[in-house]
């Protein structure tokens, strides 16, 4: 129910909820709103407290359209991920050391181990592990 603003004869301004039927009766003068002292109050215009509610209509409302759109986007995202996996070329990092290609990252790691030591060779551990998982 909407809130309406009333003013008592003593100058007190207050708000009260009224149904639409009661509001129309107050406006027409068929019904009166009284304050705590049983004095008749005047209905005043207060446009600052207006509001609205969005409802679903025959074609759906804001909430149902948003949920339909989100459902479509989730399905489309999954479909596009499958298409990308099937049709898009995935480039891979070619094993090399100093600009010279090698057959595997393990070979590069072994060469670095002999040239620069074990500490430098550990930098290639992730590439070697990834290569062994793919094999």
Can you tell me the mean pLDDT for 80-96?
Answer: 88
2 has a pLDDT exceeding 80: yes
Report domain extents, the chain.
3-49, 55-90, 96-134
Residues 6+ apart with CB under 8 A from 84: none
| Between 8 and 52, residue with greater pLDDT | 8
Which of 8, 3, 16 has its CA nearest to residue 40? Answer: 8
**Parallel, antiparallel, or unpaired for β 42-44 and 96-97?**
unpaired
Residue 67 confidence class, pLDDT cut points 50, 70, 90: confident
Residue 9 confidence (pLDDT)? 92
């Amino acid at each position: 129910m909407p809130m309406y603003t009333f003013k008592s004869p003593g100058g007190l301004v207050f708000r009260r909820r009224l149904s639409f039927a009661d509001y129309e009766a107050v406006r027409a003068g068929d019904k009166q709103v009284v304050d705590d002292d049983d004095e008749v109050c005047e209905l005043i215009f207060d446009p600052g407290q207006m509001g609205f509610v969005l409802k679903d209509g025959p074609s759906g409302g804001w909430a149902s359209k948003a949920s339909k759109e989100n459902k479509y986007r989730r399905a489309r995202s999954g479909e596009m991920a499958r298409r990308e996996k099937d049709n898009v070329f995935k480039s891979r990092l070619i094993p090399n050391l100093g600009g010279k290609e090698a057959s595997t990252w393990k070979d590069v790691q072994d060469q670095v181990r002999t040239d620069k030591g074990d500490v430098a060779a550990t930098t290639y551990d992730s590439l070697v592990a990834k290569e062994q998982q793919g094999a």
